[in-house]
Amino acid sequence: MLINNQEFGLYTDFYELTMAQGYFYCGKKDEKATFDYFFRTNPYQGGYTVFAGLADFLELLENFTYSSSDIEYLKQLGLKSEFLEYLKNFRFSGNIFSVKEGEIVFPGEPILRVDGNIIECQLIESLLLNILNFESLIATKAFRIKQASGATIFSDFRLRRAQGLGAIHASRAACIGGAVSTSNVLAAKMFDIPVSGTQAHSWIQSFDSELEAFRAYAEIHPENTILLVDTYDTIKSGVPNAITIAREMEAKGQKLKAIRLDSGDLAYLSKKARKILDAAGLKDVKIIASNQLNEFVINSLLKDQNAPIDMFGVGTEMVTGKSDASLDGVYKLAAINDSPKMKFSENVAKSTLPGKKTLYRYFDENGNFYRDAVVMEKEHPDQIEKIYHSVYPEKNTTLTGLKYEPLLHMVVSHGNIRLQKQELTEIHNYVLQRAALLPDEHKRFISPHIYKVGISGKLLEHRNLLTKELLNRNFKA
């Protein structure tokens, strides 16, 4: 997503720049670093996360540079002249390995790795976390809605409720998760998303009568007439007036496309409206429902109450990622000049895994996802007999003889993007393909089964040895 080819070097937190300047002046600027991106908890108390935002991040990364006005601004903030000269020619030149956009991923595993000099790895941290955390959060929410809606399509309806310009990325991520269209015209143009939308209650209220408002709209938009029927009284006024308009349109060789319900008891009103429409011979007129929808409401409407709804307009809860404010993705240093580094914590779950690593997925005898293995970069998966729980290593799984696949792929090589452009429908189809291989117990909304991610024996040993070394080095009496 680019806005007038703008430089994005300032799309960062200030401490990234102060650390980068520190590296520059203390002789570390040419040191090679490795950082891992991972998250600690699935959102929505769910059993999986949909990885999204990779293409947007890489597009912004390509323009992560500094204009002359940026340099002047940083000078005013007190950054030093030699470092600012360095930034004038800054461009990311490292390598990035990532899982595919749309992959089903799980807590604790490195789903993206950055290799480069310490300054460039540090400067891009905030951008990376901002884009990947947010889009993955929204894509996961949208796919949960897709799970609930099944064959019933849904659209992204709430630009007005999103967090500022985050609405643009929210619409993209919603489509990765399963939305078929968006009301957000800018996002629709930028990402080639089908656009949707007809009228609000203000249109109806601006006329002397509901019937007059319907008639005017149908005359102006005969090819896409969807009438909002709940401004006054859905059953006594809205639906009967919609039928009148449908008759008038039929006389002109046109068709009423749908009615929309935006308030009240959606199950009750949709059933009543369907009966009235069918009795009038309008079985082809669809029913669209909106108003504070989420995966639980949609699941209840369709599966518990058999509501005859043909499409949902989903808004606030999807584009804001309700009920989770953010994905707790983090970006942690794993190596300097190929020497392993780790964040130590008395809470082992908060300690990071050291060194350059990669990620493999193993499959069961039915071809379904079985276990994910975090291993040292040079380990061959055929040689990994077991993986171990990173906190409770007495819990382990034998992998001998199982089929596997690598999940991390190079997407940036020496600063050059190697990721091929994909349509959002392609990414969503990949989500569907991968989710189909995830056993159902991991996909349920209530108390999902925890998918197992383990580390290799060599990585476990490597971490334990480094932990002892760090304790001896930093906590001597």
Taking the domains of the chain in order of start, what are their residue ranges? 139-319
27 Ramachandran zone, left/alpha/beta (phi>0; psi -120 to 50): left
Strand stretches in 277-328, DSSP E: 286-290, 311-314
The secondary structure element, H or E, covering residue 267 is: helix 266-279
Q: How far is CA 290 from CA 68, 161, 258, 430, in A?
A: 48, 14, 13, 27
**Angstrom distance (rounded) from CA 341 to CA 32:** 12
Residue 40 contacts residue 151 (beta carbons within 8 Å)? no
- Beta bridge pairs of residue 290: 313
**Angstrom distance (rounded) from CA 130 to CA 137:** 11
Per-residue pLDDT of the chain (477 residues; tens, 9 = 90+): 445 568 899 999 999 999 999 999 999 999 999 999 999 999 999 999 999 999 999 999 999 999 999 999 999 999 999 999 999 999 999 999 999 999 999 999 999 999 999 999 999 999 999 999 999 999 999 999 999 999 999 999 978 888 888 999 999 999 999 999 999 999 999 999 999 999 999 999 999 999 999 999 999 999 999 999 999 999 999 999 999 999 999 999 999 999 999 999 999 999 999 999 999 999 999 999 999 999 999 999 999 999 999 999 999 999 999 999 899 999 999 999 999 999 887 777 778 999 999 999 999 999 999 999 999 999 999 989 999 999 999 999 999 999 999 999 999 999 999 999 999 999 999 999 999 999 999 999 999 999 999 999 999 999 999 988 887 777 654
- Beta bridge pairs of residue 307: none
> Would strands 258-261 and 369-376 be described as parallel, antiparallel, or unpaired?
unpaired
**Angstrom distance (rounded) from CA 322 to CA 446:** 16
Residue 92 contacts residue 110 (beta carbons within 8 Å)? no
Residue 5 has a pLDDT of: 65
**Angstrom distance (rounded) from CA 130 to CA 170:** 12
The secondary structure element, H or E, covering residue 121 is: helix 118-123
**Angstrom distance (rounded) from CA 98 to CA 92:** 16
**Angstrom distance (rounded) from CA 439 to CA 365:** 13
* 164: its two tokens: 């500022």
Residue 348 has a pLDDT of: 74
Block residue for tokens 């690598």:
406
Q: Which CATH class is domain 139-319?
A: alpha beta
Residue 407 has a pLDDT of: 98
* 275: its two tokens: 């009966």
**Angstrom distance (rounded) from CA 182 to CA 64:** 28
Residue 134 contacts residue 166 (beta carbons within 8 Å)? yes
Question: DSSP for 170-237?
Answer: HHHHHHHHT---BS-HHHHHHHTPPB-----HHHHHTSSSHHHHHHHHHHH-GGG-EEE--SS-IIII
Residue 390's nearest CA partner among 171, 110, 189 is: 110
143 Cβ partners below 8 Å, 6+ apart? 50, 176, 177, 178, 431, 435
Q: How far is CA 216 from CA 185, 210, 212, 392, in A?
A: 23, 10, 6, 68
179 Cβ partners below 8 Å, 6+ apart? 142, 145, 154, 155, 156, 171, 314, 318
The conformation of residue 303, written as its DSSP 8-state character, comes to I
Residue 474 has a pLDDT of: 73
> Would strands 329-336 and 32-39 be described as parallel, antiparallel, or unpaired?
antiparallel
The conformation of residue 301, written as its DSSP 8-state character, comes to I
53 Ramachandran zone, left/alpha/beta (phi>0; psi -120 to 50): left
